[in-house]
Amino acid sequence: MNTKKVSIVIPTYNRAKDIKKAVESVLKTDYPNYEVIVVDDASKDNTIPTLKKLKTKKLRVVQRKINGGPAAARNDGIKAAKGELIAFTDSDCTVSKEWISNLAGFIKKLPEDVAGVCGTIYPPRDANFLMRLIYFMPQMDGNTLIAERKKEPFTVNNISCNNAMWKSSVIRKMKGFDESFFRYFRTVPEDSELCYRTIKKGYKFYMYPGAPTYHHFRPTLKEFLKQSYRAGRGGGVVLAEHPDWFGWRTPLVLGFIPALLYPPAWILFAAFGLISALPIIGRREIKFPDKIPLFLAAISLWLFKSMANVTGFWAGLFQVLKKRFFG
């Protein structure tokens, strides 16, 4: 069978334990023609010794001397890639056995104007309660929730780099990811920005429901709110640096509007939602009746997330204006 070569690019920074699991999951693939490229973004832990223990000809390691962020690491991976298709996942993710074969088989059937495809993203079975709660939140991964309902492929405006496959010719034509977001603002909306630029050139993206990856991020509430703040800061940077991206709709698209209309009654609702979920904390299996309080709690968490988003949004906007007028 004539299969196109697929290069799987995985950027990593100080995640020695996670990167081992990520690479091992890719090596279990049922797809025959592939290579794995791990780009170490100047890690200070034992990432490189850990990778050297994975004795396989399928793995290549690219070492960066300076930490440049995910966009720079992925761009180095693109330069090193030999495949006609380039797949991306993250170092804190594991992939399903059929991940590569299903995405590669799907993209092969699509028209020439398709730039890339993505699959679904789920928390692992051993995810902590907060991670499962985040999964039920509105707008956390809308594509996955739509895929569960439709059960068939559909077009999307964005493919996330923890589960994506691009045609190498297209991503090289677009000159890869914009590294300036991390360099100047320490924020990372680079995958969304690349998709936006690509769609403007007339290309399309698709979601394929049968190619899952699993995100092993185990957040604390503090970490989650900090991450939400950084995401909001990215939104502020996007609006100031790329006003044609979402324009005045940026806060709406990124889900910040609820926080701008945060009445005291919502605080009571949030408390009710979180309390209603207490009986199911710690359960491994979430059955349908449990999803109702879980969803209420998720909406509650979303309200607090929105507050962190908005705070970060104005901080990002101020950061760009400060750079622009004061250097």
Q: Is the pLDDT of residue 284 over 80?
A: no
DSSP H stretches of helix in the chain: 16-27, 47-52, 70-80, 99-108, 129-135, 142-150, 168-173, 180-185, 190-200, 221-241, 250-253, 257-260, 264-276, 288-326
> What is the C-alpha separation between 182 and 154, in angstroms, rounded?
31
Q: Is the pLDDT of residue 190 over 60?
A: yes
Sheet holding 154-156, edge to edge: 59-63, 34-40, 6-12, 85-88, 164-167, 114-118, 204-207, 154-156
Residues 127-169 pLDDT 10s: 777 777 776 664 445 567 677 677 788 888 888 889 999 999 9
User: Considering Cα of 299, then 164, then 309, then 125, what sign does the dihedral take?
Assistant: positive
CB contact at 8 A, 72 and 62: no
> What is the C-alpha separation between 258 and 239, in angstroms, rounded?
18
Residues 255-267 pLDDT 10s: 555 545 555 555 5
> What is the C-alpha separation between 27 and 179, in angstroms, rounded?
29
Residues 200-221 pLDDT 10s: 999 999 999 889 999 887 678 8
Q: Whole-number mean pLDDT of the chain?
A: 82
> What is the C-alpha separation between 86 and 102, in angstroms, rounded?
14
Least confidently predicted of 104-118, 205-219, 228-242, 259-273: 259-273
Question: What's the CATH superfamily of 6-218?
Answer: Spore Coat Polysaccharide Biosynthesis Protein SpsA; Chain A (3.90.550.10)
Task: Tell me what pLDDT residue 153 has.
Answer: 87
Task: Tell me what pLDDT residue 289 has.
Answer: 46
Task: Tell me what pLDDT residue 295 has.
Answer: 66
Q: Is the pLDDT of residue 81 over 70?
A: yes
- Helix axis angle for 264-276 and 288-326, nearest 10°, is 130
User: What mean pLDDT comes out for the span 81-103?
Assistant: 96
Output 212 or 234, whichever has higher pLDDT. 212
CB contact at 8 A, 19 and 50: yes
Task: Tell me what pLDDT residue 139 has.
Answer: 44
> What is the C-alpha separation between 177 and 85, in angstroms, rounded?
16
Which residue is listed with tokens 């001397």?
A: 65
CB contact at 8 A, 133 and 277: yes
Contacts of 317 (CB under 8 A, 6+ apart): 236, 237, 239, 240
Task: Tell me what pLDDT residue 210 has.
Answer: 85
- Helix axis angle for 190-200 and 70-80, nearest 10°, is 60
The two structure tokens encoding residue 137: 């939140």
> What is the C-alpha separation between 298 and 224, in angstroms, rounded?
13
Which residue is listed with tokens 């760009």?
A: 320
Q: Which amino acid is at 276?
A: S
Domain boundaries defined on the chain = 6-218, 223-326
Output 323 or 19, whichever has higher pLDDT. 19
Residues 44-54 pLDDT 10s: 999 999 999 99
Calculate what percentage of the chain has a pLDDT beyond 90. Answer: 43
Sheet holding 213-215, edge to edge: 93-95, 213-215, 121-122
CA nearest neighbour of 164 among 141, 133, 185: 141
Output 230 or 105, whichever has higher pLDDT. 105
Task: Tell me what pLDDT residue 265 has.
Answer: 52
Give this prediction's pTM.
0.82
